[in-house]
Each structure stands twice: as C-alpha cells, then as structure tokens.
Structure 1
Amino acid sequence: MTVSPTGAVKHDDARQARSEAAARRLLLSHAYKGRKRFCPRCRDETVYILADGRLRCGACRYTFHELTGRFVNVGGLSCRDWLRLTRLFARELTASTMAEELGLAYNTVYRAVTVLRFAIVAAAPDASQILFGETGRAMGYDGGRIVMSRDTASEGPIPVFGIIERPDWTFVDLVPDMRVEHVVHFNLSFSLKVARLGKVVYTDRYQHYDALMFCGGDDVRRYADILDRTPFLDTRRGGFWSFAQSRLRRFNGVSARRFPLYLKELEFRYNHRNEDILPILLTYLCSLVPKREQSDLF
C-alpha cells in the first residue's frame, strides 16, 4: 500500500498478485478478514478439511470450498482474472475495453461486471428491499442466484428511486409503492417539474427527496409530453447529479429494470469518490451472496 498525493490509500494488491495462487490468497484475505473459516450455509466455525481439499461444516455437514457462496464464485473467472477485472472496473473502463485488455470474451466480462454491480447493491443499506422484492426479480436476482439471460421486458412495474443528497454523501432510495404513473400524475395534476437525460427521467423535489428518478427504457418518448426542464437537480452545481450525468450518458442500452444496478453503482462511487475503491470492491466481491432466508443478516 502507498499513499497518493491526495491522501487516499493506493491499493496495490491487485497489481502484486501475479500468480493464481497469490491472487487466491488475496481474495481469501478479503473474504474472511482475519476470521476463522466458517460455513457459508449456517455460519458455524466448526470446519474441517477433507482429503480432497474441500471443507465440511461440523454443524450442518455442508461440504464447500473456501469461496463457495460468494460473488467471486459466480462467472467462472480465475482469481487472477477477477483481480485484473476489478482493477479495471474501479477505473471505470467500459466492458468492451476491459474485454480487449483482458483478452476475454465481451459476454464473459459483461457478466462479471454485472456480478460486481450486484455485489455493490448487496452491500448497500437497502439491499434486502431491492434484491428480495419485485425489483430484484426483474433485474435477474432469484433468491441468491444471478440469472443473466432472463427476459424481464414484461415483468412488473418500473422502479422509482428517490435521491437524497447531503454535502458529503448521497442515498439512492427505492421508493416503496411509487410507480411511474404516480410521477406522471404528480406532474400533470400538481405541476411536479420533470426532465429527462436520455432514457432517465427525473423530477423536482418531492417530499424529503431532492428528486424522483427512473429509467424509461426504450419507450421513454411516452414521457415526452410531461417534460418541464427546470427541476431542482438542474439548478445545482457540483454534487451527486453533476458527478452522475456524464457517467449516465455512457450507460448505453441499459434496460429500465437493470437500471437500479447502475444507479446504485453511481451512489457507491460518489460516496467513496475520495477513496481508493479497489479494496472495497474486492471485499464486496468476496462477500457471501445474500439468500432470502439469510437476508436479515445483511
């Protein structure tokens, strides 16, 4: 580790892990954080090693590997490739650029980046609300499994988020029971100001939120007649919205129901904008994938 001129810690582990064995040791250090090995199913620490190198829980008898049940175990990448990819993701490279630099297929990289985004959501304060409701199912999160090929075009309503911004942080909140139809109603009946950035529709202040926001998808033109281009976010300089706009423009082809992954990524990046996010991402990547029956633990 070194310190950058801005005072942020520079994490060099991903550069130093030049072998698969070293990369695995590094990821395991993020997975267990100095704790004893424990069962990913029941969390008991009575674990012993089998002759073939696998582990078995002495409490529930579950047999597993050291990275079983963790985000890093999804996608089929080697530990070294995960480290290299996460370093590039931290630098905000596109999936196509990452695929070229890593020498991997685009679909492989896109899947891995999606897993990273799910890991970011799983670490958020509102993870259970997002992952274990209709929004999570629409995104392809099935009670602990990430389903990449799921067609969600006709499933459920488009989620609406509320933006709460303070001087040093922002929170992107899934608004309970809020529907796109409500936003349209507030605009038409109560003059709630609305604007659009590509497929992203956002409003003026609403209750304790600085804005409501959703992705209109391919049919975003249906909201064109409710536009009023002077909402609160557009009157501010600096802050989360200034940070997010240029990045949102790079998210081409995002579906309305996968949009929450990108929005929560922006929340994470903004709230850690003065830090080296690589070690945080590695910890998220090596965390256990939350399952419905374990959601109260996350």
Structure 2
Amino acid sequence: MKNKYLKGAHLSERKFKEILRLFADDLTATQIANISGVSRVTINSYLKKLRHQIARYCETLHPLPTPVVAYDSRHSDPHADHDSGTLVAVKPEVDRIIKPVIFGICRLSDRLHTEILPDVSRSMIHAATRGRSVLESLGAAERLRRFNGLVDLGQYRLYRLGNQSSDTHQMDDVDAFWGLTKHRLAKFKGLNRNTAYLHLKECEYRFNHRNDDLFMVLLELLKTYPLTLS
C-alpha cells in the first residue's frame, strides 16, 4: 500500500494522516488508538518512530558544539548519503544516565534548544546558580554558561542561571517552555528514563512550532524524511 509518509506500512496514507493529526493535537497513544481504530501496539510503534525522526531533526539544528547525545553510526542507514541532507540516526544515551535526569535549555535567535547533561549533578547546579567558582575545577562552569536554565527532572524544577537573568525575553521563553514540558510529561504519570530524550525533543519541537499548524509542519518533515518500518 503506497504511503509516502510511512514506507512499508500496511496502512493507507489517509489513515496515517488521521493518526498524525491526532498526534499533533497532543493526544495520548491510548486516545489515538481509540479514535483511529488502530491497535495500541501499532500506534506506540508509529509514535516512537515519529519521535525519533523529530529528535533527529532537532539535532541537525543544535547550535552547541559537542552535544552530549551522540550520533551512533551503527544505527544509521548504511546506504544513506549523509552529504545530501539525509538525517543521521541518533542514539540517546539516556539509558546510561545516573539519576537525576538533568537537561539544559538555551535560546538562540528565534529557537529554543535542549541538551541532556549526564555529567551534571544537583550540587553542580546549585553551585552554578550561586556563581561558585568551585565549578571551574570540575570543568563545568564554561559549559553551563551556555544555558539560560537547567532542569532537574527528578525534582521537576527549573533553575535559572544568574548570568542569563538579565535577558527577560530569553527567560520568558525558557519559563514558557518549562511550563509546556512539565504539563506534557505529567500526563505520563512517570517517565521512562529510556524515552526521556525523545519526549524532551518532542517538547522542544512543539514549542518551536507553537505558532504554526503542527500537523502541516509534521507533514512537511515526513515528506522529506519519511518514516520506515524496516
């Protein structure tokens, strides 16, 4: 069955668009399954692939030089032409992260970006927010200065970084993003650590397109980078 958005699927393009629209409306997998008539297992599979594609796209726009989440060529398409704009598969290293899950938020130009920070501890966050020089010996001060805020998911708390607080517009966006993310993650009533990265990137994507028709934005993304079941 031909479906230019989902290669190898036994699902019509029309039905897939219905699922995609429900996803754009931020419904849960259970709600999407009930409305579309497609099994929950199938919906979960499609949403996971969609979130991976969103994460890959967000990584191509990442402005920071050495993101913690690394690309893993073992998970890439061996036939892909990486010089022609093909998205490279990304392997979230969340499964290696010790508690708590901490991520940084930065706003550059008109976009907001996030990065999971597996080597940052709560004590380092506290030191950064107080401007303590002890961070210099840990090699983290300069890195943390790139962010407008840090979030400790274990405490569901946003920490503003003092050196960025003078930019009201930036911090307004950071606060708004954290409000959206906190609300969305609360729906899951507990977040699987292995999918934390994917949900974070989905929140980033939704926030950066908050003034757009997300359904149309997703269609354009999948026209260029269709999902595949293989």
TM norm structure 1: 0.50
Partner of residue 118 from structure 2, selected from 179, 188, 202: 179
Q: How does 1:243-282 map to 2 (within 5 A)?
A: 243-282=180-219
Opposite residue 206 of structure 1, the aligned amino acid is L
Instruction: Tell me: CA distance 1:268–1:289, structure 2 relative to 1, closer, same or farther (3 Å).
Output: same
Where 1:179 maps in the other structure, the secondary structure is: coil
Partner of residue 177 from structure 2, selected from 240, 265, 282: 240
1:132 aligned partner: 71
Opposite residue 109 of structure 1, the aligned amino acid is I
Where 1:286 maps in the other structure, the secondary structure is: helix
Question: In the alignment, is the contact (CA less than 8 A) between 2:106 and 2:146 conserved in 1?
Answer: yes
Aligned residues: 185
Residue 111 of structure 2 is aligned to residue 169 of structure 1: yes
Partner of residue 96 from structure 2, selected from 138, 142, 156: 156
Alpha-carbon distance, 1:78 to partner: 2.8
Measure, in 1, the Cα distance between the counterparts of 2:13 and 2:70: 26
Opposite residue 208 of structure 2, the aligned amino acid is N
2:51 aligned partner: 117
Measure, in 1, the Cα distance between the counterparts of 2:158 and 2:113: 22
Measure, in 2, the Cα distance between the counterparts of 1:243 and 1:153: 24
Q: How does 1:18-29 map to 2 (within 5 A)?
A: 24=3, 27=4
Instruction: Tell me: CA distance 1:155–1:253, structure 2 relative to 1, closer, same or farther (3 Å).
Output: same
Question: In the alignment, is the contact (CA less than 8 A) between 2:150 and 2:159 conserved in 1?
Answer: no
Residue 24 of structure 2 is aligned to residue 90 of structure 1: yes
The Cα offsets for residues 111-159 of structure 1, whole Å up to 9 and x where unpaired, read as 11111111211222447964624xx98xxxx3349xxxxxx99953357
Alpha-carbon distance, 1:261 to partner: 0.9
Q: How does 1:98-113 map to 2 (within 5 A)?
A: 98-113=32-47
Residue 27 of structure 2 is aligned to residue 78 of structure 1: no
Measure, in 1, the Cα distance between the counterparts of 2:97 and 2:61: 19
Higher relative contact order (CA 8 A, sep 6+): 2
CA RMSD of aligned residues (A): 3.9
1:211 aligned partner: 149
Opposite residue 143 of structure 1, the aligned amino acid is S
More helix by share: 2
Instruction: Provide structure 2 residue ranges, at least 5 long, that are not aligned to the other structure.
Output: 79-91, 131-142, 166-170
Opposite residue 171 of structure 1, the aligned amino acid is H
Alpha-carbon distance, 1:277 to partner: 1.5
Where 2:193 maps in the other structure, the secondary structure is: coil
Instruction: Tell me: CA distance 1:283–1:252, structure 2 relative to 1, closer, same or farther (3 Å).
Output: farther
Q: How does 1:188-207 map to 2 (within 5 A)?
A: 190=127, 192=129, 206-207=144-145
Where 1:173 maps in the other structure, the secondary structure is: strand
Where 1:87 maps in the other structure, the secondary structure is: helix
Instruction: Provide structure 1 residue ranges, at least 5 long, that are not aligned to the other structure.
Output: 1-19, 28-70, 146-151, 194-204, 291-298
Question: In the alignment, is the contact (CA less than 8 A) between 1:172 and 1:264 conserved in 2?
Answer: yes
Where 1:257 maps in the other structure, the secondary structure is: helix
The Cα offsets for residues 77-112 of structure 1, whole Å up to 9 and x where unpaired, read as 332221110111111111111100011111111111
Instruction: Tell me: CA distance 1:214–1:281, structure 2 relative to 1, closer, same or farther (3 Å).
Output: farther
